[in-house]
Amino acid sequence: MSDRRDVVLEATLRVVARSGVDAATHRAVAAEAGVPLASTTYHFTSKSDLVRQALELVIERSTAIVASHAAPPGPEDADELIERLVALAAALASDERAPLTAQYELLLEAGRRAELRPLAERWNEAYLGGLAAMTARAQLRRPELAAEVLSNVIEGGLLNQLALPQAGFVEGSLREQLQAAVEGLGG
Amino acid sequence: MSDRRDVVLEATLRVVARSGVDAATHRAVAAEAGVPLASTTYHFTSKSDLVRQALELVIERSTAIVASHAAPPGPEDADELIERLVALAAALASDERAPLTAQYELLLEAGRRAELRPLAERWNEAYLGGLAAMTARAQLRRPELAAEVLSNVIEGGLLNQLALPQAGFVEGSLREQLQAAVEGLGG
DNA sequence: CCGGGACTGGTACATTTGTACCAGTCGATC
DNA sequence: GATCGACTGGTACAAATGTACCAGTCCCGG
Distance CA A91, CA A112 (A): 28
B51 CB and strand C closer than 7 A: no
Whether A8 shows a pLDDT value over 90: the answer reads yes
Identify the CA nearest to A161 among candidates A149, A175, A148.
A175
Mean predicted confidence (pLDDT) in A169-177: 95
Helix/strand/coil for B186: strand
pLDDT in tens, B46-97: 999 999 999 999 999 999 999 999 987 888 888 899 999 999 999 999 877 7
Tens-digit pLDDT profile for residues B161-176? 999 999 999 999 999 9
Total beta-carbon pairs less than 8 A apart between chain A and chain B: 150
C-alpha closest to that of B134 among B157, B152, B150: B150
Burial class of residue B4 in the structure, from the number of CB atoms within 10 Å of its CB (0-12 exposed, 13-18 middle, 19+ buried): middle
Cis peptide before A73 (omega within 30 of 0): yes
**CB of B85 lies under 7 Å from some atom of strand C:** no
Contact across the interface for B185 and A184, Cβ inside 8 Å: yes
CB B133 within 8 A of CB B70: yes
Residue nearest to nucleotide D21 (CA to C1'): A38
pLDDT at A151: 96
Taking alpha carbons only, the member of B60, B63, B12 closest to residue B40 is B12
B114 vs A29, A96, A142, CA distance in Å? 23, 17, 41
> Where does the pLDDT of residue A22 fall: very low under 50, low under 70, confident under 90, or very high at 90 and above?
confident
Residues of B in contact with A156 (CB under 8 A): 151-156, 159
Mutation pick from A108, A122, A135, A183 vs chain B, by most beta carbons of B within 10 Å, is A108
B187 pLDDT more than 60: no
Residue A140 DSSP SS3: strand
Q: What is the 8-class DSSP label of residue A141?
A: S
> Over the Cα atoms of chain A, what is R_g?
18
Q: Is B157 helix (H, G, I), strand (E, B) or coil?
A: helix
- CA dist B54 to A35, B44, B50, B104, Å? 37, 11, 6, 13
Give contacts of B105 with chain A, Cβ < 8 Å. Answer: 108
Q: Which of residues 23-62 of A touch strand D (CB under 7 A)?
A: 25-28, 37-38, 40-42, 46-48
| Chain A residues lying within 8 Å of B182, measured CB to CB | 184
Lowest mean pLDDT among A60-64, A74-78, A117-121, B48-52: A74-78
How far from B132 is each of A113, B84, B115, B124, B185, CA to CA, in Å?
36, 12, 27, 12, 13
- Residue B156, pLDDT above cutoff 50: yes
Q: For A155, which residue in chain B has the nearest alpha carbon?
A: B156
Instruction: State phi, psi for B183 to the nearest 5 degrees.
Output: -50, -45
Q: How far apart are CA B34 and CA A25, in angstroms?
A: 29
| Gap between the Cα atoms of B164 and B34, Å rounded | 31
**A110-157 confidence digits (pLDDT tens):** 988 888 999 999 999 999 999 999 998 888 888 999 999 999 999 999
Confidence of residue A184 (pLDDT cuts 50, 70, 90): low
Tens-digit pLDDT profile for residues B115-138: 899 999 999 999 999 999 999 888
- Which DSSP category does A71 fall into? P
Supply the pLDDT for residue A1: 52
pLDDT for the residue A69: 94
Mean pLDDT of A40-53: 92
pLDDT at A186: 38
Phi, psi for residue B94 in degrees, rounded to 5: -80, -150
For residues A14 and B139, give the distance between their C-alpha atoms in angstroms, rounded to a whole number: 46
Q: Give the integer Cα–Cα distance in Å for B41 and B62.
A: 27
CA distance B135 to A114: 38
Determine the average pLDDT of the residues in A84-103.
Answer: 89
Nucleotides of C under 7 A from a protein CB: 6-12, 16-22
CB contact under 8 A, A117 and B181: no
Instruction: State yes or no: pLDDT of B186 exceeds 80.
Output: no
Residue A4 pLDDT: 86
CB–CB contact B108 A112 (8 Å): no
Q: What is the pLDDT of residues B4-57, one digit of tens each?
A: 899 999 999 999 988 888 899 999 999 999 999 999 999 999 999 999 999 999
Region B105-109 average pLDDT: 92
pLDDT band at residue A97 using 50, 70 and 90 as cut-offs: confident
Task: Identify residue A58 by its one-letter amino acid code.
Answer: V
Could you tell me where the beta strands, DSSP code E, fall in chain B?
Answer: none
User: Which residues does B111 contact at the CB level (< 8 Å), separation at least 6?
Assistant: A97, A101, A162, A163, A165
Tell me what the mean pLDDT of segment A170-187 comes to.
82
Q: B175: nearest CA in chain A?
A: A149
- A4 CB contact with strand C at below 7 Å: yes
Determine the distance from the C-alpha atom of residue B142 to the mean position of all C-alpha atoms in its chain, rounded to a whole number: 25
Rounded mean pLDDT, A46-53: 92
| Closest-lying nucleotide for A3 based on CA to C1' | C7
pTM of the model: 0.90
> Cβ contact (<8 Å) for B22 and A23?
yes
Quick one: angle between helices B98-110 and A98-110, nearest 10? 170
Query: Mutating which of A119, A164, A174, A178 best tests the B interface, going by the most B Cβ atoms within 10 A?
Result: A164
Residues of A in contact with B101 (CB under 8 A): 108, 111
* Per-residue confidence (pLDDT) for residue B137, from 0 to 100: 85
Mean pLDDT of A48-55: 92
Which residues on adjacent β-strands are paired with residue B186? B140
For residue A125, the one-letter residue type is E
B20 touches strand C (CB under 7 A): no
CA A36, C1' C11: Å apart?
12
**Does the pLDDT of residue B185 top 60, yes or no?**
no
In terms of Cα–Cα distance, which of A1, A57, A4 is closest to A30? A4
pLDDT score of A187: 36
CB A66 within 8 A of CB A127: yes
